[in-house]
Amino acid sequence: MAKRRKIKKNKKWFKIHVVVDLTSKQVMEYNLIREKREIGYSFRNIVEGLFSKFKSLNGDLESML
């Protein structure tokens, strides 16, 4: 299950790809991609902030499965 979110930073758009394991409620994989380049784990705090929002979505996602 993958979700994409966009954040605006320094007037440039970033795309975050997050893979969430719904059974363990953990982030399994995440990448921050800009200009076809993976920036990766240096933006862990951003991804963890987004995942705190995903927790509220887990109930909705599980009901769709």
For residue range 3-32, list pLDDT tens digits in order: 666 655 555 555 666 666 666 655 555 555
Match 């200009």 to its residue by tokens. Answer: 35
Q: How confident is the model at residue 56 (pLDDT cuts 50, 70, 90)?
A: low
What's the number of domains the chain is made of? 1
The parent domain of residue 16 ranges over 2-64
pLDDT at 35 over 50: no
Mean pLDDT of 24-50: 56
3-state secondary structure (DSSP) of residue 11: coil
pLDDT at position 1: 54
pLDDT at position 28: 57
